[in-house]
Amino acid sequence: MTSSDIQDAAETAVTDYILAQETKDQLRFLTCGSVDDGKSTLIGRLLYDTKLIFEDQLAALERDSKKHGTVGEEIDLALLVDGLEAEREQGITIDVAYRFFATDKRKFIVADTPGHEQYTRNMATGASTADLAVLLVDARNGLMVQTRRHAFIASLLGIRHVVLAVNKIDLVGFSEERFDEIRKEFETFANGFDFETLQAIPMSARYGDNVTGKSGKMPWYAGPTLLEHLETVEVGEHVLEAPFRFPVQWVNRPNLDFRGYSGTIASGRVAVGEELVVAGPAKQSRVKTIVGAGGEVEAARAGEAVTITLEDEIDISRGDLLSSTANRPDVADQFAAHVIWMSDEPLLPGRPYLLKIGTRTVTATVSEIKHKINVNTFEHMAGKTLELNEIAFCNFALSSSVPFDPYEANHTTGSFILIDRMSNATVGAGMIWFALRRASNIHWQALDVDKTARSEKLGQKPAVLWFTGLSGSGKSTIASIVEKKLHIDGRHTYTLDGDNVRHGLNKDLGFTDADRVENIRRVGEVAKLFTDAGLITLVSFISPFKSERRLARSLMAEDEFIEVFVDTPIEECRNRDPKGLYAKADRGEIKNFTGIDSPYEAPENPEIHVKNVDRDPEDVAEEIINYLKGKGFLNGVETGNGS
């Protein structure tokens, strides 16, 4: 054989190997369970035994084992995964670590998730993309609270394949009786979780028993090793058999002659010539071409990134969902969903968040927390808010309709995240259960006499003057003087005062953060109606949260909302204390008092900023009147005596 033949053979072998790797099936799984049950050690063992550790990594691991290891003179395989310095110092996993490895039969992506209760949100993050969960149990301790919690979350997130890895079996003398005891207890516990497969395996991750090779120390166990099970378990076929779903990520227009829709197929299959529909508008067309990574193809399947062109010109944009015409998704602006809360700041019903589902983002609020779920006992509990790592079943109201499927039918189109509108941080993850149908005969009634006609008749431009500030800042006093001046000038006004509204409209609300949010939501809606009536509405509320003031602003037309920040230091408010509220709060007689044990978030860019120390309220009111005049709110026929 010539050198040329040898080179050709080598190139062919490399090409064949690359093609084989590209066509391999892939399994995403996570390890979870209680603290110190051996999750990181198990992944380290899989990486070590599958020969995926380079010599320099092994040398570094040996050095780190001497410094951070917990297994004496041996190599601590957990350190392959516990990459954060804080994790190594504490001996725990506090983040989700992802690792890749492969065998001749399959490729794997494994997520090592934290065991501590306070990091439940991290476990949920790892579970959200997994096909299978390896739930570790220390054979000495049996099922722990966190074991049950993680099993429940895995079930809630739609994982249907579970391995019960009874680890550290060497520390109980490789006892078959202890293994059977734990297995039976877990099978009874998980009976209602709808797991399709549940494989219990006795193992020692530290020594490799039943991890990648059969253990000679447990002849009573005839089942597969962990790696054998991971290589052969059938997962993912339901995604291919599900109806076609294609969230449009990008409208591809390289030139005037090409208009394609790019994204990753969420489920199902599609072929050239098939009829598709845009969910929502229900516009239909046929697939003209499908462009993959290597050029045009006749068909594509779930998981592939493609560009689809259609035979007809249809208005499609990012966020739209293409689906099969025979089996279409739900389209609604209200639905019920399970939510896992991931923020230190509590979820408050009525507070607006950004909801991202697929490639579409809309504004959404939790209209009602139906119940919270105790993840230790699974009982349903009442609750007005949702704290970090808590899970609840909630009703959602969205600013516009979105297409979706129930989460159990399609994880991609049935899941969403919630984003804080101010920090842009992800604060929650949700799984949609079903649509809430709004009565189809309820519409906003178009009236012949509208806001423009009313305001012209009144000779003024409608507006909302939103006075915000601490209790005792002087906002109600200033608002009252402003209204008097406007009344003398012949203007049509109404004042919504915090105390007065709580005697009627909001008398059912307290002063918790959740009640404060609902208080401002209702007042904002009333102010919107008064604005529609053509009035100049003065709202005098502490309204401590930026998010709710932003919500009130969003209800009004552009330039109608005027935020007036009456900026008075809390020391000055204490000195004034006209109702004696600060004194009561200091004595603990009033809970959730703004500025004492409940926060006040000061406006950053108010239209009018009043520093109200040693100022005559009459002068402040005149400043506000002049602002209204300068902005054209008081144009029209002067009917009074002037201000």
Catalytic residues: 543
253 membership: H or E segment, kind and range: strand 250-255
CA nearest 315: which of 278, 343, 287?
278
The position carrying tokens 């054998």 is 228
Phi-psi region of 188 (alpha: psi -120 to 50; beta: other; left: phi over 0): alpha
Cα–Cα separations (whole angstroms), residue 73 to 66, 76, 77, 493 = 7, 9, 12, 81
Between CA 309 and CA 499 the distance in angstroms is 59
Whether 79 and 65 have beta carbons less than 8 Å apart is answered as: yes
Q: Which of 216, 189, 208 is nearest to 38 (CA)?
A: 208
What CA–CA distances, in Å, run from 615 to 31, 157, 474, 606, 623? 64, 58, 10, 19, 12
Query: 466 forms bridges with which residues in the sheet?
Result: 539, 563
Q: Which residues of 580-589 are buried (b: 16+ CB within 10 A; e: fewer)?
A: ebbeebeeee
Q: Which two tokens stand for residue 89?
A: 């110092």
Q: Can you tell me the distance from the alpha carbon of 26 to that of 9, in angstroms, rounded to the nearest whole number?
A: 28
- Asked whether 300 and 292 are in contact (CB, 8 A), the reply is yes
Query: Quick check: 111 and 130 in contact, CB under 8 A?
Result: yes
> Cα separation of 633 and 80, whole Å?
67
Give CA–CA dist 98/47, Å, rounded: 12
Helix (H, G, I), strand (E, B) or coil at 564: strand
Cα(643)–Cα(631) distance, rounded to whole angstroms?
A: 16
Report d(CA 495, CA 485) in Å as an integer.
13
d(CA 98, CA 411): 20
Residue type, 249: Q
Q: What is the CA radius of gyration of the chain?
A: 31
Q: In angstroms, rounded to a whole number, what is the distance separating the alpha carbons of residues 111 and 99?
A: 7
Q: What angle do CA 313, 318, 324 make, to 5 degrees?
A: 65
Distance CA 339, CA 392 (A): 5
Contact 277, 284 (CB under 8 A): yes
